[in-house]
Amino acid sequence: MARSVGRICKGFQRLGLLSKQTQLIPFTRVPVGTVRTIVTLPSFLFPQPRDFSLPNPSWGSEMTRMYEHYESQCEVETEGGQKQKGPWRRLPSYNRLLKYATVFPSGGVYLSKMIQSKARLFTRNIRNPGAAFEYVLFVNKEEQKCVCILQAGHLLEGPPGHVHGGAIATMIDTVTGTHATFLSGPVMTANLNINYRRPIPLGSTVLLESCLEKKEGRKTFITCRVTSTDGSKLHTETSALFLSITASHLLGG
């Protein structure tokens, strides 16, 4: 376990995600250790990766309406007419967390370096907009909350005409994991306990609301509800546990 987590952690370390100044950043900006190094090469060599959390033509009216609801609270206007940060913050989303893949020297069937370089985040691996997961996350630091607006496309089918239980679990892991990382720094999922209450029709837009339950040492406990956007229908309820992974924990076994 320690060796596997160690490899993952090295990836985080390369990008400085183990520092206290952790930010969710595109992979082309490469900080090293706790000191951020800005890449100063011409930008055409390192084009800005696509931020998948921005609206695209596949978004339906409900997805767009919910996005605008939270986006409008990311920057608010004071009485004096000045703009300032609001309670919510939109998190960008790319098709890979880090431009990095570990090389495994032995055991099992492992990917070639060429294929490793093609690795893509599971939730962003379909190129066709609207076909799979269309989602955007917002965090509220003061309320220790995270919300995700999800529009479920036609390639996520499980029961006929409805979203696969695994696709729902995938979004729950993504949202609670991002929230736990925001609260506690780099983490790994230790437990997901998901109660499925009501199936989600393909094509519908739902809301995932993630709340901090408590923090105990390395443990971050999160709860998450998936509901219709007006909150009237409960689709799933989840309790999740994440374990912090830090250099000191790894060194200490």
Interface region with a copy of itself, contact rule CB under 8 A, candidates 7-15, 18-26, 28-36, 209-217? 7-15
User: Which of 80, 253 has the CB closer to a copy of itself?
Assistant: 253
Over the Cα atoms of the chain, what is R_g?
19
Exactly one of 32, 72, 191, 231 binds a copy of itself (CB under 8 A); that residue is 191
Q: How far is the CB of 142 from a copy of itself (least distance, A)?
A: 28
User: Which of 140, 223 has the CB closer to a copy of itself?
Assistant: 223
Q: Which residues contact 71 (CB under 8 A, 6 or more apart)?
A: 90, 138
Q: Which of 12, 147, 172, 173 is catalytic?
A: 173
Q: Is residue 173 flagged as an active site residue?
A: yes
Query: Binding to a copy of itself (CB under 8 A): which residues in 34-53?
Result: none
Q: How far is the CB of 55 from a copy of itself (least distance, A)?
A: 14
Query: Binding to a copy of itself (CB under 8 A): which residues in 60-79?
Result: 60-63
**DSSP-assigned beta bridge partners for residue 238:** 194, 224
Q: How far is the CB of 212 from a copy of itself (least distance, A)?
A: 19
Q: Which residues contact 200 (CB under 8 A, 6 or more apart)?
A: 152, 162, 163, 168, 206, 226, 235
> Contacts with a copy of itself: how many residues (CB under 8 A)?
75
112: part of which helix (H) or strand (E)?
Answer: none
Closest of 194, 162, 200 to residue 176, by C-alpha = 194
Torsion of CA 208, 211, 217, 219, to 10 degrees: -30
Just list the catalytic residues.
173
